[in-house]
Structure 1
Amino acid sequence: MKFARLGPIGEEIPVLVHGDRHLDLRPLTSDVNGAFLADGPTERVRRALAAGELPELPEAAALRVGAPIARPSAVVCIGMNYAAHAAESGSAPPEIPIMFLKTPNTVVGPYDDVQIPPGSTKTDWEVELGVVIGRRASYLASPEQAAEHIAGYVVANDVSERDFQMAVSGGQWSKGKCAPGFNPTGPWLVTPDEVDATGVRLRSFVNGEPRQDSTTGDMIFAVDHLIWHLSQYLALEPGDLVLTGTPEGVALSGRFPYLADGDVVEVEIDGLGRQRQTFRAAELVR
């Protein structure tokens, strides 16, 4: 099952993507938010679909595609979770998951333009599997419990400014991760029954040229382990987003140039869809 949100920023309409149809979910919920995801959405939507209670959204194809989840209360990220990416970053594979945060307002639509911050010379792309929480996860007893707390999966681009991340963050990374729009998400939230998170393929492209190409089978820490591990240190709430790391092939490796004004980045994950962003140079407000 695929959920999406269509419409102008701040006015997105929740929909079910059913084949080539977009069915309005407003008879069930005002948004694809934590309350909806915590209330057994798959079965509720399935019943409403069978009963003919979800009308088709007129002119859906003409609407902007927003992030498939409403603004989360938290965006929790895992760094260097692919061994080859750790190596290209000049680091040994971590022995425990490395956690950092992005601010919730980084979450934008999958086709929205992304601004390169003023003064940036090292804005980078990172295709990532995103995990959306459907049930509060706190102090889970084992990784095996994690699946019960996952509402679905999304494509995410963990955009990063490497100078801000490495040189002026004091080792904390988040200054390089939190510029507005630095987390394009979607186009869909896909429920777990349609995704094998242990082996999906991730790819990225810059101006049509391939950059990253790997699978989640190369993760150091699998999704279930990550959700369990994070729950020992913080409470993940319904609607929260967890980014699980990126494979090798980013500009930080030194093999590719960083992003410049007008560059087009595309990222995709099998079964979860494809994004496309144009990067634009931002100017200081004077």
Structure 2
Amino acid sequence: MLSLNSSLMIITDLDGSLLDHHDYNWDAASEWLARLKQHQIPLVICSSKTAAEIIPLQKKLGIVGAPFIAENGARVVLGGEYTPPIETSASYHALCQTLQALQARFRFNGFHEFSDAEVARFTGLTLAEASQSRLREASEVVLWRDDEQRLPEFRAALAEHNLALTQGGRFWHVMPAGTGKGIALADIQQHLAAQEGEARTTIGLGDGPNDVPMLERVDYAVVIKGFSKTPVELQRTDTENVYHTAHVGPQGWREGLDYFLAPNE
């Protein structure tokens, strides 16, 4: 087991991992969150959520100023004070224009086509949270309504515009090519190692296919049992450093840390 007194960093997905897939609570993880804070172990959020969603969540979790990864790695904040946007960015509008052109060939809808109330209805978010989820900077959430067999064709069409497609726990996400949770984590690791003079041992927790690049990069990976049709499959050979949970959501999150970390320090 790893010691809480060692130089650790926890990287976590949110929906379906630290947060319950249905009601977004994290009660089952509370004890571990308090323990991590007590031992000053950084908790890095690595999510498909927007910066506008993550900032208030950091306040609730007591980790204001910590680095975080938003929009599946399309947005990286290295720490310190950060003010989320009050409106969507120009690069996001350009991305949406590209997607609108592709709707002539494929059947799908993006978050930009819906109202806050509509997003709240199909996600279970509050109206305020739905509004924050639509304050996007670099990626778009896509509801795929076409034949699944056409996804490779859609992926190829996106690549012609230097865009990539990744699958989350519930939705598809379109983002700039060359971005992702693994690349974003590498940026944060490099930044912190330069600040602290050493590399921290990393434990990553995630439940969806979009978490794979992050789970491949961390030293210890917790694959939380999820709801995605596509299983989370890692190519790692160090299987002793990978744990698959029996529980979902924050219960699985707690189970994963119980497995790798000594609890009584």
Please indicate, yes or no, whether the TM-score normalized by the shorter chain is above 0.5. Answer: no
More strand by share: 1
Tell me the TM-score normalized by structure 2: 0.24
More helix by share: 2
